[in-house]
Structure 1
Amino acid sequence: IDMTSRERAELCFPQLLNSSCRKTMRPHSVSMLIYIILSCISLFTVTLNLLVIISISHFKHLHSPTNLLLLSLAVSDCFVGLLVVFQILLLDGCWYFGDLMCVLYYIFDYVITSASIGTMVLISVDRYVAICYPLHYPSKVTLQRAKICVALCWICAALCHCLILKDNLKQLGTYNSCAGECVIVLHYVAGYVDLFLSFIGPVTVIIGLYVRVFVVAVSQARALRSDITAFTPQGSLNVAVKKSEMKAARTLGVVVVVFLICLCPYFCVTLTGQDVLLNSTSMAFVICLFYFNSLLNPLIYALFYPWFRKSIKLIITLQILRSDSCDAQIM
């Protein structure tokens, strides 16, 4: 009787003896540690990215094309923080939310990831134009165009992954080997198309643009040294503009590099098919690194952007509730 009760306790659905999946059995201390780490990542990711969203949405002085792209990235990062909640609920390896929610969860996950990577491409393009073609930047990169690009980025990500995963929506639970499992299957061609559109293509564009930005930035840094010797008002203005653009490029460069460091292991594992060979602990580390990137972005803003630190202070002290707070000088 004891063996039977123990076996039942190891099942996701004890009432389904013959068809239920088995739980992932870990020592209690390990489970608690994972629970605490994931809970902290989720809480801080959602909170910090909400601060970015509120800051850029509320303060008019922050309504710029570059900040709109940061807003899009913060929205996707905030959603990632909410998705971590599902990882917390799935610590024992059982899916309790039904087959429809399983597919919708994966679609949502794929859409958020693709939109995040797409936004990174837009950030790279924004910095490329700002550094390489500074005179054309104000006319080429407008707030309206940035809004259109962000909207297209999210719409394309949603449409693309709804099409790729449509068979899983039509045949709910077909690929599950037991009750309590959440498995989706991509068609062979669709999988490679998704990998190219979501990772290989965007990463190639991002690296290519930032290499170009780096080369131009180095040459501009040399030019700045000679400009500093000119004491004309126009010369001083040019130096100030160049320095602000260079600083923005450097900060967003850090965001892009951190993004690639956090995401590349996950996609490389997927690309090489090593996810089958890795043990559960290694795979958990790769996935946690993937999610951890969404927590790092607002911390980078806090480190490099004075306007973000100032806006956080105004939000926490509730000064944004004042009627004229949206016009506050943040920059």
Structure 2
Amino acid sequence: MNKGPVSQFIEHHYRHFNAAALVDAAKGYERHLIEGGKMMITLAGAMSTAELGISLAEMIRQGKVDIISCTGANLEEDIMNLVAHNSYKRVPNYRDLSPQEEWDLLENGYNRVTDTCIPEEEAFRRIQKHIHKIWKEAQDKGERYFPHEYMYKLLLSGVMKENYEIPVEHSWMIAAAEKNLPIIVPGWEDSTMGNIFASYCIKGELQPSTMKSGIEYMVYLSDYYKHNSGGKGIGFFQIGGGIAGDFPICVVPMMYQDLEMHEIPFWSYFCQISDSTTSYGSYSGAVPNEKITWGKLDIHTPKYIVESDATIVAPLIFAYILGW
């Protein structure tokens, strides 16, 4: 593939330290795909609010991503940005805010994520009225779905199209829905939509069983892994840390040790973008070699770690893979 100006800049200037690790990881990702491998991307933090969709959606459309694991926040915040972008408020001086100023933001309906405030009424409530209807219809029919499947139903129904405030090609969730991309959403319950769903259960309007659980996600993932890990295998591209990465990477030792499927292959590529510190006993900061001891990675698995800001690094790696 002929590389564009962004890729050429990266190759020319990014020669050492974390910059070189970025290039190595991008080339390893590209090589993995060329050799017939599949790739999982895991999204932690607030990558959707960081508008990673501008590059991630194109990665999905071009078949550079086969499965995603993300927090419930990233699942919903891409859609929130889609329907309420114009009402978001940026606070560049967020480090200087006093407790009173933070309180004022709350009183005005803003929930702050670093320098970006999500408008509660426009974002959460605009989605809530539509997703509640979909949840209720499923329950009335005796049907059960995963959190991401309900979101796919919402997007593919087109009921919110008139509210779109960004180009649809910048929404990774729309790209994923159109491809019916497999998504794993561990710990969905701690997201805003998860909290809202729980509130309906407490009020007796919905049943918890209408939403498929985290255990069912692990069963779903094990089936996916079993049927897609042949040949070159499945790579693991981890953005940040936390449950979005910790949950899915465990599927391999679970299948090998607990199901005694000794023929199951290890993850065949691993990269993490992280600034977490390994000496703190952090799973998120664990260097790739530690994962060998847990039966997640092989000795020969290509391993990369870029100790930097994912909001800077991930779009650059994606740009390189896309040939921009």
Report the TM-score, using the length of structure 1 for normalisation.
0.28
Give the number of the structure whose alpha-carbon radius of gyration is greater: 1
What's the TM-score once normalised by structure 2's chain length?
A: 0.28
Query: Higher helix share goes to which structure?
Result: 1
